Amino acid sequence: MPYLFTSESVSEGHPDKVADQISDALIDNFLAFDPQSKVACETLVTTGQVVLAGEVKSKAYLDVQEIARGVIKKIGYTKSEYMFEANSCGVLSAIHEQSPDINQGVDKKKKEEQGAGDQGMMFGYATNETEDYMPLALDIAHKILQELAALRRENKQIKYLRPDAKSQVTLEYDDNNKPIRIDAIVISTQHDDFDSEAKMLAKIKQDMIEILIPRIKSKYKKYAKLFNDKIKYHINPTGKFVIGGPHGDTGLTGRKIIVDTYGGKGAHGGGAFSGKDPSKVDRSAAYATRHIAKNLVAAGLCDEVLVQVSYAIGVAQPMGLYINTYGTAKVELTDGEIAKKVSELFDMRPFFIEKRLKLRSPIYSETAAYGHMGRKSEIVEKSFKSPDGKVVKKKVELFTWEKLDYVSKVKKAFGLK
């Protein structure tokens, strides 16, 4: 029987995402000046105020206020009427040294024996539904907001946009789990004040459908037919949305974990990513399981797969590796047998995950909005400045867990052509 499935996304200006981006900017700066930094940093944002809290073990000294203001400015909170503005907001730091009780379980004499930074389970997921092996509903929801942000920065076709926004996409699937129809699209975007609320709503709805949606449709050649005049649109359904961002709603690091991953498809271990250095398996192992899942699907082993790994704090070897191919496997093996072979291909000890995916680099700011998964792996040069004026430039590889560098190994291990 056909069914509906929904995923949502939030923009870089959403208060929770502002918090995520500040936390990850701090991670990048610590790693740029001391790659062995251990950091767990939470951020709270509200009207005119940023609060930083967390634990750090690092040789680096940072101007955390300046870093936070730089992130806020880049997002677009640069006007006093937003009631949260890069140059004038207060920034309070309550960051202190990491507990030695935790650190002793992570740092070991032999690097390869590095223990997991915490207990827990992490999940990775992939599907051949889209070119980037992500669920279609979430993929569209992300792209709606990425294009909305692009239109805001261009400031040509649409000139009233403010940074805060949310999107939601509902798809209909057939009995074969294939998307056949976009049932509904919800877009709520913060905007400048209008003289008339009725005119405002009409104008925003027209611009979203006639300017934004065609830009989204052009990115989906395979699914272009789904973008038709039968879609139910809910554009700013509550009406006026002038007050937004951290002034409209307090934001916290780690409150958008489903947006960060697979939009509700697959599963989630519950741990947030942003603000954590890669010794925290909540982050590194979630990236590693995505890397596994994507390479399995890309190799043709299955159409869809969920990968779980679990750890005990301070212990290097994972407690177990679980795989669910949802009955789509193309080999005559059980999911348990597939998991055994996969565990031989991918070393899931924390040190080897960090090494394989180059996670001790300042690569995290780019992950903190529009999803940590399904993004483009590329090499970029980044620049960081310390309080004493020292500038560090680094070439780093972003989204290494999205690389299809294990496809040939998977094909060989499973006898796939």
Convert the pLDDT of each residue in 3-30 to its tens digit: 999 999 999 999 999 999 999 999 999 9
pLDDT at 360: 98
- Annotated ligand binding at 249? The verdict is yes
Range with the poorest average pLDDT among 18-22, 105-109, 183-187, 273-277? 105-109
For residue 23, is it within any domain? Answer: no
- pTM for the full model? 0.96
For the CA atoms of the chain, what is the radius of gyration? 22
Q: Is the pLDDT of residue 398 over 70?
A: yes
Listed range (55-69, 75-89, 94-108) with the worst mean pLDDT: 94-108
pLDDT surpasses 70 at 107 = no
Is residue 341 over pLDDT 70?
yes
What's the total number of domains in the chain? 2
Q: If you ran DSSP here, which 8-state letter would residue 194 be given?
A: -
200 plus 124 within the same structural domain: no
Q: Give the mean model confidence (pLDDT) for residues 158-164.
A: 98
Is 352 labelled a binding residue? no
Beta strand pairing call for 38-46 and 251-252: antiparallel
* Residue 285 shares a structural domain with residue 406: yes
Task: State the burial class of residue 21 (Cβ atoms within 10 Å of its Cβ: 0-12, 13-18, 19+).
Answer: buried
Distances (CA, A) of 69 to 53, 65, 160: 16, 6, 23
Would you say 37 and 31 are in contact if contact means Cβ atoms under 8 Å apart? yes
The CA distances from residue 328 to 137, 179, 296, in Å, are: 20, 16, 12
- Residue 387 domain-assigned (yes or no): yes
φ, ψ of residue 308 in degrees (nearest 5):
-120, 140
Query: Residue 141 is part of a domain; what is its CATH number?
Result: 3.30.300.10
Kindly state whether residues 381 and 289 are assigned to the same domain: yes
Q: What is the DSSP letter of 365?
A: G
Q: Provide the pLDDT confidence category of residue 110 given band limits of 50, 70 and 90.
A: confident
pLDDT tens, residue by residue, 367-390:
999 999 999 999 999 999 999 999
Pick from 182, 189, 69: nearest CA to 136:
182
Q: Which residue segment(s) compose the domain that 176 sits in?
A: 3-10+136-247
Answer yes or no: is 265 within a domain.
no
Residue 191's DSSP bridge partners are 161
Helix axes 281-298, 407-414, angle to 10 degrees: 60
- 333 lies in some domain: yes
Q: How far apart are CA 377 and CA 81, in angstroms?
A: 37
Q: Residue 309 and residue 316: Cα distance in Å, rounded?
A: 12
Q: List all residues 6 or more positions away from 143 whose beta carbon is below 8 Å from its beta carbon.
A: 216, 219
Give Cα 71 to chain centroid, integer Å. Answer: 16
pLDDT band for position 108 (cuts 50, 70, 90): low
Domain final position from 224, 247, 270: 247
CB 114 within 8 A of CB 103: no
Arithmetic mean of pLDDT over the chain: 96
313 and 190 in a single domain? The answer is no
> Are both 187 and 293 inside the same structural domain?
no
User: How does strand 378-385 pair with strand 90-97?
Assistant: unpaired
Asked if residue 272 belongs to a known ligand binding site, the reply is: yes
Two structure tokens written together for 189:
């975007």
Do 162 and 124 have their domain in common?
Answer: no
Q: Is residue 141 part of a domain?
A: yes
Alpha helix ranges (H) inside 34-169:
64-75, 100-106, 136-154
Q: Does residue 81 form part of some domain? A: no
Helix or strand (DSSP H, E) at 161? strand 161-173
Are residues 332 and 227 part of one domain?
A: no
Torsion (CA) 326, 328, 329, 330 in degrees, nearest 10 = 180
Is 241 assigned to a binding site?
yes
Task: Please check if 16 is assigned to a binding site.
Answer: yes
Of 203, 224, 247, the residue that ends a domain is 247
382 in a labelled binding site? no
- Residue 327 DSSP label: T
**Residues 290 and 229 grouped into a single domain:** no
Is 142 one of the annotated binding-site residues?
no
pLDDT at position 102 over 60: no
Clarify whether residues 124 and 162 are in a common domain: no
Nearest to 314 by CA among 23, 57, 59, 100: 100
Does 202 share its domain with 227? Answer: yes
> Exposed, middle or buried, 386 (CB in 10 Å: 0-12/13-18/19+)?
middle
Which whole-number Å values give the CA distances from 181 to 29, 126, 265, 349, in the listed order?
Answer: 44, 21, 18, 42
Is residue 222 part of an annotated ligand binding site?
Answer: no
166 is in an annotated binding site: yes
Which residues 6+ apart lie within 8 Å of 96 measured at CB? Answer: 54, 55, 56
Residue 104: closest CA among 89, 119, 92, 114: 114
Contacts of 290 (CB under 8 A, 6+ apart): 124, 125, 126, 307, 372, 373, 401, 402
Q: What tokens appear for 346 in the block?
A: 């991918």
Identify the bridge partners of residue 123 per DSSP, sorted by sequence position.
308
Final residue before a domain boundary, out of 247, 266, 287: 247
pLDDT band at 295 (very low <50, low <70, confident <90, very high): very high
- For residue 344, say whether it is annotated as part of any ligand binding site: no
Distance from CA of residue 322 to its chain's centroid?
Answer: 23
Helix (H/G/I), strand (E/B), else coil: 12: coil
> Annotated binding residue at 247?
no
Helices 335-345 + 407-414 axis angle, to 10: 130
350 within some domain: yes
302 vs 417: CA distance, rounded Å: 13
For 106, phi and psi rounded to 5 degrees?
-95, -55
Percentage of the chain lying above the pLDDT 70 cut: 97
How high is the pLDDT of residue 12? 98
